[in-house]
Each structure stands twice: as C-alpha cells, then as structure tokens.
Structure 1
Amino acid sequence: DTTESIKGKHLTQDERAQIAILKRENYSNRQIAERLGRVPQTINNEINRGTVKQMRRQKQNGKTYDYYHTVYDPDSAHAAYMENRKRCGRRPKWSLSDAFVDWADTQMLDHHWSPDAVIGVAKQRDLFPVSLIPCTTTLYNWIDRQILRTKNMDLTEKLHRNTKSKRRKAPGHKRKMGPSISERPDAVNTRETFGHWEIDTVIGAKHKHDAVLLTLAERQTRFEVILKIDGKAAQPVTQAVASLVERAGAHMPSLFQTITS
C-alpha cells in the first residue's frame, strides 16, 4: 500500500500520543507512518527528537541496581517541537510572551469568557501591546493546536459557532445526545474537585479497520487515560468505559463523578 502523506501539516499532540502507544506495541516506524498517513521520514525524525533516557532502580539482596533504557516520550517530543518552532522563521505571537496566553487562559477557564470577549477586552483596555494580541480566528486556532491550556470542551459557545453559510438548513432529524455541556455543575467548571472527566475519541489514518483511541482527561489534574478500542461506535466505547468501572471497583464514586463527551 502507498502511504498518502499529509503535506504542510505538523504532527499534533494527539498523533504523538498515538505514536507512543504504537511504539509500546512494537510497531515499526514504517508501520506507524502507514497508520497515521505520514511519510516514514517524518516518523523517524519525530521518534529521534522525542526519545529520552529513563532509569529504573531495582533492589536485590540488599544492593541497589540502576538500569537505563530509552523510550519515546510524547511530552518531551512536543516540548522539543515547540522550542524549535520558536527559533525558526518569523516567531508567532504566542511565543513572544507568556503574559497574554496566561491571561487568556485565566479568562476562558476561570471566568468562562469566549475568545471573542478575550480579544475585545484586551484591545479595549490596552492590556497588552498590539503585537501580542491575535485576532479571534487566530486564538481559536491556538486552542485547536493545543497551544493554550483551554480546550474546545471548555468553550460552551463554540458548539454554536457557525463559520459556514447561514443558507444551509439544519437537518430536522438531529438526535438529542443528552444534557447540554452548559448544564454541568459549577464544581466541574471551577475544577475545585477531583473526578470530573472529559471523554473523546481520536482517529488516526481513516481506514476501515483501523483502531481508535479513547481518551479521558480529568479536569482538575489534567491526568489522561488513553485506551485502544476497536472503533468509534457506541459498543466499543461502552465496553471500554465498563472496563474502567470494573477496574475502579469500590473507588468508582470518588474517581469518576461526571464524564462529559
């Protein structure tokens, strides 16, 4: 099979998480490239950049032994990528100062402002130099690229944001998927308590029989659980969640208070 490469698009954090899982399952770099729809050299470069040395300490017969091994770490790879991006070509606005990014995150996460409100207030009150304030579309792009701590799930108004023509008629058979995200308890939005999770599926190369990653992120700690499932349909997702419930056992009520999809 010929790999159809994705040109002009850098690897995302989700793709790096998939690479880490596939490496643990002993996939070759070429097989990983096929799964993600990338050229093999891109995967080779990524794994070289993200490979780190780790130490495992073991005690035996009263003596301590240190063992070193190398492993691909997606977080280290993403940090190296972000650092390289700062140094190449024209520096993006988000890399010029952390002040605006941190302030924007605070307004959107703690005060539930929309990106439009963040940009409007920043300009109106002259809170930052003009060179540090992006346009609203750019701020949305930063969120999509996971440059900020804010995620799309944190933006309740984005579900209603329509960037396409208003002449398109909404389908009349849209299913009701349950309570709106806007109805979540305040404890979920303020991140004051542990146990509130967000669940999503991540799809790599879109082939018929490809596996899917199910991700669960805990809102207070940002701790993530990533599971490999057979597809994005309801049955494999339900089976994966059921396996988590079984593992949690008696700790289930304290570990999983709410799950938002």
Structure 2
Amino acid sequence: MTQTENTTESRQEKHLNRYERNKIEAWKQLDTPLSNRKIAKKLGRANQTIHTEIKDGTVRQIKRQVQNDKTYEYESFVYSADAGQAAYEKAREFSRKKSKWMDAPDFMAYTDQQMKQEKHSPDVVIGRAKKRNLFHHEEIPCTTTLYNYIDLCLMETRNIDLHLKTRRNTKTARTRKNKTMLGELIEKHPDIVDKRERFGDWEIDTVNGLRLGKDEALLTLTERKTRYEVIIKIDGKASDPVNRALTTLKEAAGKDFELLFKTITSDNGVEFSGLIDLLKDITAVYFTHPYSSWERGTNENHNGIIRRFIPKVTRMADVSLRTIRRVQDWMNNLPRKILNYTTPRECLIEELSQLALSI
C-alpha cells in the first residue's frame, strides 16, 4: 500500500560520519557544553544515537599540575572524535559474520582436493565431511554456500571442474513409433522393487563405443537399493556377448545367484532378447516401455558417470580392463547423498552380511 501522507525524511547515510563527530567534540568542549539532546536536534539525529556515540567515544584524561614542589593529578572524562571513530570502526568490523572460507583453510584445501582430484560433487564433500566429523561443524558451510564460493572464484575449483554443472541441457520431446516388446513390462514387477527396500533388484544396459564399425561394449548392471555397479567388457552390442557375460556371472555366483539377482530390468534392445530364456526359473526379467530409459533411471545415471571417464566415440576396444576396473571402483566408493553419504560398497557389504545370516 502507498503511504501518501508520509512526512518522514529519509536519510541515505544512517551512521554518524567523521564530520559529525568533530562537531560533537567541538560542542562538548565549549565553556558551556551542549547537552546530548541539543546536539541530537542540531544534527537531526535520535537522542539515543548521540547518547551512545558519546558513551563509546568518551576517554579518560589525566592532567598533572605542579604547585609548591608537589605534583597533583586531575582526572576528567571527555568526548574524543578519534575515539568515537575508532569505536565505530571496531563495531563495524565485528558486525558481519566472517565467511567460513577465511577461517577454515584446511577444509577449503580438502574440498578442492576432493572435487578436482577425486571428482566428488560439492554436496558429497559436505555430507561426507559432516558424517565422518572430519572438521569442526563451524568450519563446514552448506552446499549452496560452497557453490557460491566456486561461482565467486574463492577456490581453486571452477565450474568447469564440476561435471554435472556443465553437461545439463534441455531436450525436446519426440514422438516415435512403437517398438517390439521382449517380455513383461515394468509395471508388472512387485511393488517392493519400486520401494528399493530389498537387495537384489538390478537394472541392466550397455554402453557403446564407436557408432560405426565393429567395436566392443560395456555391460552395466546397477543394484537399485545399494547403487552398487558391475561393469563387464563384452565383444559387442549383441545378444550372444550379453548372454556369455551373464552366464559367466551366474557361474561365479553359483547357487547364490538367485539370492543376489531377484529381478533384472532392461530396455527392449536386441542385445537383451535372450535374457528370459537364459534366466528362466532363476531371475524374473522385466522390460521398460519403448524409448523410456527413465524407467531404469538409476542405471542411466550410472552410465552418465561412466561417460565422465570414457567419453562417447571412444573406441571401447582400446579401453583396458584395468581402466574399467578403476572406473567401477571409483563409482562404488563414491559417497552418495541418497545413501546418507555412505558408499555403494559399504552398503553392499552390509547387505551381504545380512544375507549370510539369513542363509
């Protein structure tokens, strides 16, 4: 609402300045000093403002006088513009809370190392530091503040070092024709799979190398509850290499395979056309709707993480098994906010210990 009868004059400078303090000092040194109220009226200030200023700027003076070979000391209290200005500047210095980055150099160095070398996100760095009590709580800012520090170039880390901040883009919707369905759709799987309350529900996909010509590929499996990732290098994006990789995995797990793999969800790619026959009577297999990769979003997100280390158009045949193992280990040792800043590997160990107790 607009106030049309407002008669209060606004002041651009609300604090007393040096010029006004000098005038106060002169008025207080007159033979008949002005009262605080008169000074406030002359300066157009509140009475309390002048009272506080004189209280803060008053100093103790001692004068010595010699009479009849004796020295006498006289004590007096007078207002000093210099003392008032010094008190004001000191109060202003402590009126604003210092930024945490100024008082926590060890934490800032740790944060730079985690984001630049370990490739952890700002939120993961903050959450993990709090969970492990690595620093005093007053030294650790919130995630938003840490992003602000990066934007203001107060750290060695720059936005270009943050993977997700530079790869987000908008996508337009496209209408596509239907596609062949390989089996039961995802909506038929048990509700417990959606709730992520049970260990053993996996999402599967392939990560390709070159689009043209023959090249190898990666078979990726992501456990929904723990976010544990398994990456297997296969001969190509086809049904036979996928079946061979899963057969090897099944043989390695032995009789425990059905405990570790209760369900598997994949898309309708031809490379997964043999899943149902391969895992019949062992593991339930479900398929997403055509062109609906978001229905197995955990696995898609993990594939995006893999692309940080193995970009598109990389010849997968040239990627060593050692490199793939390092990527897998990095992902499984990455603290996750959704896991309360524990790692997928830590969650997997806990789940396996519970399975051992139940067997």
Give me the TM-score of the superposition, normalised by structure 2. 0.28
Considering only CA atoms, is the larger Rg found in Structure 1 or Structure 2?
2
